[in-house]
């Protein structure tokens, strides 16, 4: 098994590509060993000194670290991922919990058409680019011209996420949807 690694714009996060499907659908973001209890792979990764977060995408895993040097962590992470996939163990045990339960979206019923357009732009133009960087972005709400989004994986806490939201996504939304005045990140 050959696992590729890619740097992300977030220096504290590294993207691992195991060459196979990680999650069939959706994403999962684990920010603590307690949250990772549903995933044998996430539990194994949190046992490595310095690991502070794990994000599963369709075909990638991003690992976020503290101040520990990647040079010391990378071999252990690669080994844990390889051992997991070679064992045939599932990614999740029991019911799926986590990212898909971020709470209810909020917007006025009369804004449904605008929200549909926002979601379409996120799905077709934004999410693929964000996934390339080892993260994900989710629509949370729309109120009084403001689009609320949640960034996860490598994008959460990334120094360039403010620029991504402010310049990239906000400009894209304003271009296609005149009602959008601003884009804000919520956690």
Q: Which tens digits make up the pLDDT trace of 21-75?
A: 999 888 899 999 999 999 999 999 999 999 999 999 999 999 999 999 999 999 9
CATH class of the domain at 4-87: alpha beta
If one looks up domain 106-185 in CATH, what number appears?
3.30.300.130
Q: Which tens digits make up the pLDDT trace of 128-178?
A: 888 888 888 889 999 999 999 988 877 776 666 666 677 788 889 999 999
The full set of domain ranges for the chain reads 4-87, 106-185
Strand-pairing partners, residue 185, are 149
DSSP, res 181: -
Q: How many CB atoms lie within 10 A of CB 54?
A: 27
The token pair at 103 is 């709470």
């Amino acid at each position: 098994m050959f696992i590729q690694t890619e740097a992300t714009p977030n220096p504290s996060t590294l993207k691992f590509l195991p060459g196979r499907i990680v999650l069939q659908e959706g994403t999962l973001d684990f920010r603590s060993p307690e949250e990772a209890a549903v995933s044998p792979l996430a539990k194994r990764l949190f046992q490595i000194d310095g690991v502070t977060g794990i994000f599963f995408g369709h075909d990638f895993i991003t690992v976020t670290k503290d101040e520990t040097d990647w040079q010391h962590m990378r071999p252990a992470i690669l080994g844990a991922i390889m051992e997991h996939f070679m064992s045939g163990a599932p990614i999740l045990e029991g019911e799926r919990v986590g990212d898909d339960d971020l709470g209810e979206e909020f917007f006025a019923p009369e804004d449904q058409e605008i929200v549909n357009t926002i979601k379409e732009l996120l799905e077709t133009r934004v999410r693929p680019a964000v996934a390339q960087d080892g993260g994900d972005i989710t629509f949370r709400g729309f109120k009084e011209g403001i689009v609320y989004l949640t960034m996860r994986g490598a994008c959460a806490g990334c120094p360039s996420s403010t620029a991504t939201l402010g310049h990239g996504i906000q400009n894209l939304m304003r271009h296609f949807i005149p009602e959008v005045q601003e884009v804000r990140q919520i956690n």
